[in-house]
Amino acid sequence: MKQILLITDGCSNVGLSPVVAAAHASSEGISVNVVGVLDHGDVGELGATEIDEIARAGGGLSRLVNMRQLSQTVQMMTRKTVVQTIQLAVQKELKQVLGNGAIEALPPDKRGEVVRVIDELGETSGLQVALLIDASASMKPKLAAVEEAIRDLMLSLQARQGKSEISVFHFPGSRNGGDCVMDLSWTSHLNGVQAIFPKLQMGGTTPTGPAIMHVIDFYRQGDYGRQSRDETDGMMSGYVV
């Protein structure tokens, strides 16, 4: 199972529409979840609509939360999306039994069996979550909470019986180029990772769409990402499209 989890606090303003990018992800079998982080006010109507639409296009969930709820929300969304992904797959498999209906159309006795399978697969299937963090200037004071949420998510995933990996990206890249930078390649633990976001240079633009495309590419290239981590130094840790 593949997921992208986007954490942002506002609207994209450069490049490809993030809704189109999320639809691309969905067609590659990657679910896109979006968390909108509020500080005092809100993300604005435009931001809220975009967040909702990205998740819809990406077949995932969206939530607007304040920083205190971030860890719990990220953890809960990831879990729910796992169940949902498997539910959709099982529904497809059972099409002959279910017709076009959902699992809800089964009588409760039979539902029990199906849900047992869903739960089991949800616990044991391999899972990859690519975290994509909006690091535009307004997000700066929130990055500590984001890092905490990432560590908390890793803790939850480590408790699963299946193999779980996360990777971390942020956007925009440094001042003069790059939509997206990789901070951490696929890993199943954060032991020894002191800081996930060391000395970020906060950019002014918010290229959410291009950044999602970048992560889809990373997924496509699979093992390439793994190798690049070993072969590059700090400067290059995050190959640029």
Residue ranges in contact with other proteins by CB under 8 A: 59, 71-72, 83-84, 87, 102-104, 107-109, 111-112, 115-116, 118-119, 123, 148, 151-152, 155-156, 158-161
Residue nearer to other proteins on the CB measure, 151 or 175: 151
**CB 72, min distance to other proteins, A:** 6
Q: What is the 3-state secondary structure (H, E, C) of 167-199?
A: EEEEECCCCCCCCCEEEEEEECCCCCCCCCCCC
Q: Give every CB contact of residue 116 below 8 A, 6+ residues apart in sequence.
A: none
Residue nearer to other proteins on the CB measure, 124 or 201: 124
Residue nearer to other proteins on the CB measure, 188 or 227: 188
**CB 232, min distance to other proteins, A:** 28
**CB 9, min distance to other proteins, A:** 20
Report the candidate in 169, 153, 165, 163 with the shortest Cα–Cα distance to residue 217: 169
**CB 114, min distance to other proteins, A:** 8
Residue nearer to other proteins on the CB measure, 95 or 111: 111
Amino acid at 48: A
C-beta separation of 2 from 198 below 8 A: no
